Each structure stands twice: as structure tokens, then as C-alpha cells.
A and B are shown apart, each in its own frame.
Chain A
């Protein structure tokens, strides 16, 4: 795989009042949301969500608990269908698509509350991610036709290669549910990557990890972007991680975007400090 190291480059504005990395300018953005919104009964869980993400950008979505971050992921992957607004994925309108079609179009995700196939082995979890990559029919499986052997071998090799990103190839035979918490989160990322996405959504990837695990994860997220040349949008409460690797950051509060910009912009935004960072400072015992 061609690896090209991206620097955290200059961010430039695009017409949707978002910013994307300068290097991605002139190419179709991977994601363009305009005025996206969803109501649950009377609650506007997400409203007027407008965001553009560049093709090789690492973007962050932050905000206090209950701000609507996970709901944005569920809208992007059509777990919920938006009440308002449009989503363009690689320039294509995703209206009316199903979760399955969205994955095939290029969005893969992880879950805040881990959702592994916990009775199956680590390797099988990744192979399930390869479901639409290494295809053969049920008939060739039952009759063990050459297609079965060829594709199974390819899937096995690919699965181990993907697991090696996180140095997990030795765990291939373990039951996924028996892994430690941090390894389960990493396995979810590997499984998502196996579907060959153009945009990877990570919902609190560092949750429950210790500082050294988090630091390693940060490196690996950057490495994944560099290796696969994809865009990553991540939700995270760990500010070191977000400020460290995210190029564009979007802050959500009560379902509304209250700020968009680089780490510096966000850290100096009075609204953000009040809604989010300020509250954290108050809460922290000095």
C-alpha cells in the first residue's frame, strides 16, 4: 500500500462555511452535509448540521454528553433517516439509501458501546468486515469449489494484514468477546477498515483506554489515514487526542453546531469554552 505521510496542513474555507485541508481542495469532498437535522418527538436531537470533510482529512466531532454526536453518525450511516437536509457522500446524494448501501458506498463506523461479533474469533470478525471484498457464492462454499479456496485464502491473508496495523495478528484465534476492552475497540476499527471505506467514523475510540494506549491509538489513527488515504471523522472526549490529530473540529451543543475550525480556533472560542471546555475546568478540582 502506498504510504504518504500527511502533515497537519493549512486549512482553507469552502463555500459551506466549513474548512478543509488545503491539499484536498479541488477534489470532491468526501462528505458534504447541508442543514442536516432529525427530531425525536419534540426534541431536535440534531439541527442545521452543515459540515464538509476533505478526502484525506482527520476531523473531530466534539461536544458535551447528549449533544447529538452519536446521532450525527447514525444519520450519516442511515440508522436514522434525517428529517431535514442532505448528505453528499463523495458527491452522491445518499437520500433513501439503507445502512447496508451506505457501507458499500464507502462509510464504515465503530460504535460507542462496542458491537463485536463476540462469539466469533477475532479473525472471523475481520473476515465478516471483508464480506463484500472477498465474495463467492453459497453454492461454491457448500461444494468447496476453487472460488471458495481462493477467496478464503485471500480473506485470511487480508485479515491478518489488517490486524497487523494494531499488532493483533497473534490474537486472530481468540474469541472476540474475550479480548480486553482496548483490544475490542481496536478490533472494531480493523473490522470497519476491512470494508474498504472512504470515510471512517470512530465513535469515542479512546474510551476506556489508559494514556499510553491512547497515545498509541493517536499514532495509529494517523497511520491509518496515511496508509489508506481515507478521511476519518472521530467523536472523542479526550481533548489531547482531538487537539493532537484532528485538522478540522466541529463542536456540537444541544444538537447545534456552535463552532467549527482548527484546534486553535476552537480552544479560543468563547462559546466553546462556556459550553464545553469551561464546564470541564469548573468541574476539575484544583
Chain B
């Protein structure tokens, strides 16, 4: 058994420890939570941490594995969050069993985010060159404003949706007496039933890992990484560049949508400004600090960097300062070979590669 394990490829062993780490961390935290050993504030971090792990791992698929810069990952999260909340609230009578409703809401969130990913990705990823960063940056801003214009309610006649460009209010949906308002324009979604649970977050993290890791360690993942490493060579061996870019980008968007749905259903109310540019950059920082292409690195970075500012609430003013410094360093590093080498020694992924050969 042990020998068999040793004969496994290094990637297979890394993946095994990634899963193992997540499972052990979950069991420990869940046991502590059930035993009442966690303070209420620590307890409240558990679901968001799961969400941001999924966000970081999925963004790593686009940035680390595919090698395209995305600056609007929070946009997909917000699409998932609001579509998930709409699904959960309108299904509350039809499906009384909460876990099933949550699962469906997450699925709906992933689906809508994937569709949005198609809309953003298809025109951009067909081009040669780094247009994705600019387009996703714009997308993140636009989606926020679009959601601010939404009026959504649900009554016995079904779903009512108005795209509000004038000064309409929720009354203009003309719902009957059974009606509930789901999204009230810039006020966002209110009265959300908190369906999200820590075990649900754990399951979502595990599903994300299975999807991303199985994809990366396959023909598809190799094709995606080939495009990243050398586009011209990838074409010369007959790899359909656009197809594999889209597979990676849309999967990444769908997973962000799933994370968004779980996140949205963890709070009583939700505004679209929660998923702004800062959130996108926050997740990007997790990915860069965890190591591009390094999945367990993203998990660790997301957890640590989520907990750190929460634990140091009184110093929170400095958080944005730290991000600015990190970003400048990253920009310098990607343009400077000496710094790149220095950073390479600090990042776990690079170290691991050096060991390999």
C-alpha cells in the first residue's frame, strides 16, 4: 500500500494531500462548532471562507492554468449570488426541504454565471492578445450597475422581473397579496432565508476541487496549459485554442457563480456593491500569493488572507494598503526577471517545480 502510494506521480500525491487537508480541516472545525467551542464570530467566517476558497481555486483555473488575466471574477460571483437567491426564494414553497433548495440555488447560480461567462468569453477569447483583463474589468463594473436596476418579486403567478431604467419601485411589479420582493433595485435583495451551512460549503469546496483537479490532470488540462506555455506550438500540434480557452474560462465562471449563490444565501440581505472591483482584486491576490497554478496554495491563501483581516479588525484600514503594496510587487515581478526569481523562491509552486527537475 505504502509502496503503491510512493509510486504515484508527484501531482497525484499533491492532489491527495490537498483533499486530505480540506477533509481534516472540515472535520476539526465542524466538531469544534458542534461542541460550541467556536465564538460566534469565528463560526460566521466558516461559510465565507468556503466561498472564497471556491473563488480562488476557480480564478486560478483562468489565471494560473489558462494564463489569462481576469479582473472581474466577483462579477460572476454576483451573477451567481443574485440568481441563486432568486431561485431559493421563489422555490421556498415548492421545495420545503432546505438542503435541496440550496443545492438547486447553487446549480442555478452556476448556470447563470456560466451563461454570462459565454457572453463575456466567446467574443474576447477568440482574439489574440490580452483583451480579457480589460473586458472582465468592464464586466465587473457593468454587472453591478445592471443588478442595481433590477426589480424582482415572486407571487402566486410566478416570477416578476422589471429592468428598471426610470424611477419605478417594487410596487410597480403589481404582485398579488402572496407576493414577496426579492430584489429591490439598488437596495439589493432582502429577507433572504439563510440556507447556507458549513457542511454545504465543504461539499462545494470538494466538488470544486474534483472538477478543477480532474480537469487539470487530463487531456483538457494539458491542452489549456499548452496554450498558456506556448500558443504557437499548441496550434502546431492541432489544439483548438478557442475551444480550450472557453472550457477553462466558462468552468471558472460557473464555479464562481456557485460560490456566489452559497455566499448570497449566507446573509439576510445582499447588495451588488459587495461584489465590486475590490472583491475581484482580493481573490486575485489570493491566487497570486497562493501561487499561479497551485491549487492547494489558493486554498491556503484564501483561508489565511480571509481570516487575517477579520481577526485584526481594528487595523483594517491598513488592509487596502497591503493589497496595494502586494499588487505593485506583483506588477514589478512579472516585468522584472530578478524580482521574478526572488518571488519564485518564495512561492511554493515554483519551489515544487524546482524539486521536480
Contact surface of A with B, Cβ cutoff 8 Å: 77, 79, 98-100, 103-104, 108-109, 111, 115-121, 124, 127-129, 131-132, 134-136, 138, 141-144, 148, 151-152, 155, 173-175, 178, 191-192, 194-195
Q: Chain B residues near A116 (CB, 8 Å)?
A: 229-230, 233
Q: Chain A residues near B247 (CB, 8 Å)?
A: 138
Who on chain B is nearest to A188 by CB? B233
**B238 touching A132 by the CB < 8 A rule?**
yes
Q: A99-B236, A128-B237, A138-B247 are in contact. Are A175 and B229 (CB under 8 A)?
A: no
**B226 touching A109 by the CB < 8 A rule?**
no
Who on chain B is nearest to A77 by CB? B236
Q: Chain B residues near A119 (CB, 8 Å)?
A: 225, 228-229, 293, 353
**A120 touching B236 by the CB < 8 A rule?**
no
Q: Chain B residues near A134 (CB, 8 Å)?
A: 219
B23 CB to nearest A CB, Å? 18
Q: A109-B236, A111-B233 are in contact. Are A117 and B214 (CB under 8 A)?
A: no
Contact surface of B with A, Cβ cutoff 8 Å: 9-10, 210-211, 214-215, 218-223, 225-226, 228-230, 232-241, 247, 293, 353, 356-357
Interchain Cβ contacts under 8 Å between A and B, 24 examples? A99-B235, A100-B235, A100-B240, A103-B236, A104-B238, A111-B232, A115-B230, A117-B233, A118-B230, A119-B293, A120-B229, A121-B356, A127-B219, A128-B226, A128-B234, A128-B239, A131-B237, A131-B238, A136-B218, A142-B210, A142-B214, A152-B219, A173-B9, A191-B233
A81 to B195, CA, bound (A): 57
**B236 touching A175 by the CB < 8 A rule?**
no
Residue among A99, A121, A142, A191 making CB contact with B211, cutoff 8 Å:
A142
Who on chain A is nearest to B213 by CB? A142
Residue among B210, B222, B228, B233 making CB contact with A124, cutoff 8 Å:
B222
Q: A77-B236, A115-B233, A195-B238 are in contact. Are A128 and B223 (CB under 8 A)?
A: yes
Q: A119-B229, A173-B356, A175-B356 are in contact. Are A138 and B237 (CB under 8 A)?
A: no
Residue among B9, B218, B238 making CB contact with A138, cutoff 8 Å:
B218
Residue among A103, A136, A143 making CB contact with B237, cutoff 8 Å:
A103
Who on chain B is nearest to A138 by CB? B220
Please name the 8 residue pairs, one residue from A and one from B, whose CB atoms are nearest each other, closest first.
A141-B218, A103-B238, A174-B357, A117-B229, A115-B233, A175-B357, A99-B235, A138-B220
A191 to B247, CA, bound (A): 24
**A135 touching B214 by the CB < 8 A rule?**
no
Output the residue of A77, A104, A120, A192 with the most chain B CB within 10 A. A120
A108 to B9, CA, bound (A): 30
Residue among A135, A173, A194, A195 making CB contact with B357, cutoff 8 Å:
A173
A103 to B235, CA, bound (A): 8
Q: Chain A residues near B9 (CB, 8 Å)?
A: 173
Q: A111-B233, A138-B215, A173-B357 are in contact. Are A120 and B222 (CB under 8 A)?
A: yes
Residue among B219, B228, B232, B235 making CB contact with A135, cutoff 8 Å:
B219
A114 to B247, CA, bound (A): 28
**B235 touching A136 by the CB < 8 A rule?**
no
**B232 touching A115 by the CB < 8 A rule?**
yes
B55 CB to nearest A CB, Å? 19
**B237 touching A192 by the CB < 8 A rule?**
yes
Who on chain A is nearest to B292 by CB? A119
**A100 touching B238 by the CB < 8 A rule?**
yes
Residue among B219, B239, B293 making CB contact with A136, cutoff 8 Å:
B219
Q: Chain B residues near A138 (CB, 8 Å)?
A: 215, 218, 220, 247
B157 CB to nearest A CB, Å? 38
**A129 touching B356 by the CB < 8 A rule?**
no
A100 to B226, CA, bound (A): 14
**A100 touching B219 by the CB < 8 A rule?**
no
A284 to B247, CA, bound (A): 55
A28 CB to nearest B CB, Å? 22
A131 CB to nearest B CB, Å? 6
Who on chain A is nearest to B240 by CB? A100
